Structure 1
Amino acid sequence: MTRIAVTQARAVLGLALAAIAAPSLAGAMSDAELASIVARRLHGDRTGACAAVAVIDTSVSRAYVCADDKDRARVGPTTAFEIGSVSKTMTAALLAELIELGDASLDDPLSAYLPDGTTVPTFNGQPILLRHVVTHTSGLPALPPGAPMGGFDDPYAKLDPAALLTALGRTTLQRAPGSQFEYSNFASMLLSHAVARRAGSDFETLLQKRLFAPLQMRNAYVNHRPDGVRAAIGHAPNALPVPAWNFHGDLAGVGGVRATLDDMVAYVQGQLGHAPAPLQAAIARSQQPVNPGGQPVMAMNWMLAPLNGRTVHAHEGGTGGFSSFVAFDRERGRGVVVLSDTALHTLGGLGSLGLPLLDSLVPLGKPRQAVAADAALLDALVGDYALDGGMTMHLSRKGQALVIQAQGQPAFEMGHDDAGDFYPLLFDASLTPQRRADGSYGFLWQQAGSAASARRLDAAPVPELSNDALRAYAGEYPLMPSFALTVSEREGKLFGQATGQGAFELTPAAKDVFEAAAFGIEVRFERGDDDRVVALRLLQGGNTLRGERR
């Protein structure tokens, strides 16, 4: 599954800039109109992706579009896609129904839902509650430590409940539950297992009986594909096919659901108030904020995103060969589903298509096309680098191509696209060059749903600042109406936090310049005549916002 935390943090400016006017895409539209819009985003895209897209409004429009028209047969009404982490919102609906029935509470400890004798970590006596799990604040790591994970091709196939609970017993919490957002597939697998146990059913049967059947999601499934449904073949963003991901049935609530476009249309219609009773009450409960005042604000496994003065529910998902995007605006009665047979998480996901369909003021993204890289950029990137985790990488030039070689591994030639990213031709990853404040280059490396910044081994050392020096930057900096960046010092580090988003660390790069390289963010502080910090400029993705210190 993609880590939505990374996606959100990289889009600090994305939702704020949604106020920039764009051609109107709002309102009910025909299938042909929708197909035209999707084609503007996909046609010619170097990933070769295909997508099934729906806009749910007063009517439903559907489109099936590929980057190359010759691939159109890959997707259609009976094609089932892996929806990845959007499955978590379905687990939330099942939990909400248990709460409606009086069989569960968000304030129950997770331990009460697991087998007797299970060791569940606490922090100074504070237990993990269900509300912590559905807001990704449990304190549990992203993946179960020491569990038998598979490779990139099928990472969850070897996991079963016993292995998961064993991993839980060896886990130590580093902070209090509820204190910090950290996206955790580990916690979500535990919740899937816990909900099934409390309901007295295996998870797939529970999904079919309590969610899929009432919403008439006739072709949705986990491991038992209905007759007449064709499982799509997934692809890496280099257009090569990749294997399907598999999940133990009771852990599938983390990301194991497969569904057609019509299944997901029915799901979003249910989210917009058209589910039968009593499921509608459970869905409505799952949409309510669970951590008011938290960052980011969340419902039960739904991200609550500010968008042009309103709040929309959204979740992205992804597996090794698929991407998904589901969002809806209850106030306007509008929803969007985008399902792709290509893993696009390393390229920013599907928000650049989904958000414009949800709100007309969000600019539509453009296809990424393969182009030659500038020779001067290639020369500037040649050198040795260290990733955040310590691995070293060597970049060299082969004619007009960049070649990357990780320590102890073969060298791989890379392509380049007009968005400025380099990408290996033989596996799924991306390299985004980042010009540092001193004029040198580093890069952001994305692979397998995670991101790490890389710094040249011969780069100037990172400046060291005292706690007092860091506190001099602290304050609130309004960047747009209802959108600000709050800067704070904690334990000798500087953090930024945009309205409605999680905090991210800011690393010193030069005098009054800080970076969050993993998210492509640079912050430049400005000083007044008295040498006090008075404003900042936040730069991301070629855009700049300025805010004066409040």
Structure 2
Amino acid sequence: MTTADLTRLTQAAPGATAVTLAVLHGGQRHVWCHGTPAAGARPTTPATAYEIGSVTKTFTALLLAQLAAQGRVNLHDPIDAHLPRHHRPRTPGGAAITLLHLATHTSGLPRLPPGLLTRALPAYFTNPYAAYSEEEFHRCLPRTRVRHRPGTRLTYSNYGMALLGHTLAHATATPYPALLTETVCRPLGLTATHCGPPPTGQATGHRAGRPLPPFALPALPAAGALRTTAEDLLTYLHALLHPHTTPLTHALLAVQKPRLRAPRSRDHLCLAWNLRHVDGHTLLFHSGATRGFTVFAGFAPRTGTALAALANTGPRLGGRFVQCAYTTLKRLCGS
């Protein structure tokens, strides 16, 4: 592992002013940083915060698994057991959506809540979801018709993962941000991981080379609102590689268990994590993005290798950043 890998990632993220590569390999932690978080700022460090987009979903899945390990919910609970009647989507024949369906994208819910795109259009290229409130999310739930019978099709759904966070909050009478902090982040020592306002020193996101405001996702925090640092991501990945050294042993093992096979693929889906067998290794990984950031996180349990790559530029058509990070992880597993 050399700084050449950071150089390749930086080249794969045109428009980024800050890129961070964090690696666990051979029992050692390494972090390489490039650039500055914002114009005129001090150089990027391992403590620079980034928006991680859909990598948030892996934290929400771990929250579900830990609440299940504590006996506070069950993976097979129908959401109706925890939600008020006026917060329930309509399903074919009244079939139940379970917490497991939400965590594996098999609920039948669409990718986004009804009406969200309409509200997002005026700020689509900057901060599209900031004006969509939690109250609107609640109002759209009973108007939503589930497209397929729950458990029958894999359809990636931000809406479904957001509903999972919403349901867990109702089940525990605790708002999602506080619930995630007390149940997952604090026990794992993740002091810089949260979905609150951006901290001082967070990198400024960019799209096509232009700076963007901090991403806001008030109605769907469980689907993509987390901010964190390379240091915290390494601690998180270390816990996934060594679950028996943490207070969340059973939950960390549960999120790595394959739950279903992706259609027309040899890949499997765990609780949020993608699982792939390649070159004799098992890789678990997830990518994430907001309008101004792109992130990849992955690990290989058998080799004890993990990698997080973060850039303060949004995804672009034909972008190579996530693929470059995945390829680097795969190569490290063979070294």
Note the C-alpha offset of 1:78: 2.8
In 2: Cα distance, 1:159 partner to 1:134 partner? 23
Query: Hey, what does 2:66 align to over in structure 1?
Result: 97
Tell me by how many angstroms 1:73 deviates. 4.1
- Alpha-carbon distance between aligned partners in 2 of 1:192 and 1:260, rounded to the nearest angstrom: 22
1:40 equivalent to 2:13? Answer no
Q: Distance in 2 between matches of 1:255 and 1:168?
A: 19
Partner of 1:255: 224
Q: Which amino acid aligns with 1:330?
A: P
1:297 corresponds in structure 2 to 268
Unaligned runs of 5+ in 2: none
Q: Which amino acid aligns with 1:356?
A: T
Whether 1:212 aligns to 2:185 is yes
Question: Letter of the aligned partner of 2:5 in structure 1?
Answer: I
Aligned to 1:312: 283
In structure 2, C-alpha distance between the alignment counterparts of 1:235 and 1:293, rounded to whole Å: 32
Counterpart contact for 2:20–2:34, Cα < 8 Å: yes
Q: What residue in structure 2 maps to residue 190 of structure 1?
A: 163
CA displacement 1:244-298 (0-9 Å, x = unmatched):
21122x7311111101110111111111115654312111111111225766521
Taking the TM superposition and a 5 Å limit, the aligned residue runs for 1:467-482 are none
Partner secondary structure for residue 259 of structure 1: strand
Give me the whole-angstrom Cα distance separating, in 1, the residues matched to 2:243 and 2:317.
34
Q: Deviations over 1:427-472 (max 9, x none)?
A: xxxxxxxxxxxxxxxxxxxxxxxxxxxxxxxxxxxxxxxxxxxxxx
Pairing partner for 1:155 from 128, 132, 140: 128
Distance in 2 (CA, whole Å) between partners of 1:49 and 1:293 is: 35
Q: What secondary structure sits across from 2:291 in the alignment?
A: coil
| AA in 1 matched with 2:280 | G
Distance 2:40 2:23 in 1: 22
Q: 1:43: how far off?
A: 4.4
Task: Tell me how far apart the structure 1 counterparts of residues 244 and 132 of structure 2 sit (CA, whole Å).
Answer: 33
Following superposition, the deviation at residue 196 of structure 1 comes to: 1.8
By how many angstroms is 1:66 displaced? 4.4
SS in 2 for 1:86: helix
Q: Deviations over 1:453-499 (max 9, x none)?
A: xxxxxxxxxxxxxxxxxxxxxxxxxxxxxxxxxxxxxxxxxxxxxxx
Q: How far off is 1:302 after superposition?
A: 0.7
Give the letter aligned to residue 312 of structure 2.
D
Following the alignment from structure 2 to structure 1, what is the Cα–Cα distance between the partners of residues 322 and 165?
Answer: 26
Structure-1 separation of matches of 2:309 and 2:12: 18
Rg larger for = 1
Asked if 2 retains the 8 angstrom alpha-carbon contact of 1:219 and 1:225, the reply is no
Choose the corresponding residue for 2:326, options 336, 346, 355: 355
Question: Aligned partners of 1:71 and 1:298: how far apart in 2?
Answer: 42
Please give the alpha-carbon distance, in whole angstroms, between the structure 2 residues aligned to 1:102 and 1:202: 19
**Structure 1 position 177, deviation (Å):** 1.4
1:240 aligns with one of 203, 207, 210: 210
Distance 1:318 1:127 in 2: 31
Paired residues in the alignment total 325
Quick one: which amino acid aligns to residue 318 of structure 1? Answer: A
Q: Which has the higher helix share?
A: 2
Instruction: Answer whether contact 1:305 1:313 (CA < 8 A) is retained.
Output: yes
Of structures 1 and 2, the one with the larger relative CO (CA 8 A, separation 6+) is 2
Which position in structure 1 is the counterpart of 2:45? 76
Paired letter, 2:217: F
2:260 alignment partner, SS class: coil
Question: Which amino acid counterpart does residue 247 of structure 1 have in structure 2?
Answer: L
Unaligned runs of 5+ in 1: 1-28, 363-550
Q: How does 1:348-427 map to 2 (within 5 A)?
A: 348=319, 350-360=321-331
Please give the alpha-carbon distance, in whole angstroms, between the structure 2 residues aligned to 1:83 and 1:267. Answer: 13
Partner of 2:241: 272
Measure how far apart 1:224 and its partner are. Answer: 4.6
* CA 1:175–1:44: 2 relative to 1, 3 Å: closer
Cα offsets for 1:178-209 (capped at 9, x unmatched): 22221111111111111122222122112222
CA RMSD of aligned residues (A): 2.6
Greater share of strand residues, 1 or 2? 1
- Cross-structure match for 2:81: 112
Distance change (3 Å), C-alpha of 1:40 and 1:245: closer
Letter aligned with residue 192 of structure 1: G
Note closer, same or farther for the CA distance 1:357–1:300 as it changes in structure 2 (3 Å cut).
same
Q: Is contact 2:53–2:223 with CA below 8 Å preserved after alignment?
A: yes
Shift in Å, 1:167 = 1.2
Distance 1:173 1:287 in 2: 27
Contact 1:82 1:319 survives alignment (8 Å): yes
Q: Which residue of 2 aligns with 1:231?
A: 202
Q: Distance in 1 between matches of 2:184 and 2:316?
A: 27
- TM-score with structure 2 setting the length: 0.88
Pairwise mapping of residues 486-501 of structure 1 onto structure 2 (< 5 A)? none
Structure 1 residues 275 and 260: CA distance shift in structure 2, 3 A: farther
Contact 2:108 2:149 in 1 (8 A): yes
State the match for 1:55 in structure 2.
23
Supply the distance in 2 between the matched residues of 1:56 and 1:282 (Cα, whole angstroms).
21
Within the candidate set 192, 197, 200, 2:173 is matched to: 200
Say if 1:161 and 1:193, in contact at 8 Å, map to a contact too: no
- Does 2:331 correspond to 1:324? no
Residues 100 and 193 (structure 1), Cα distance of their counterparts in 2 relative to 1, 3 Å cut: same
Q: Partners in 1 of 2:16 and 2:145 — Cα distance?
A: 43
Cα drift, residue 346 of structure 1: 2.8
Asked if structure 1 preserves the Cα contact closer than 8 Å seen for 2:192 and 2:229, the reply is: yes
Deviation at 1:102, TM superposition (A): 1.6
The CA distance in 2 between the partners of 1:293 and 1:222, in whole Å, is 30
> Which residue pairs with 2:93 in the alignment?
124
Counterpart Cα distance in 2 of 1:103 and 1:41: 42
Counting aligned pairs with the same residue, the percent is 30
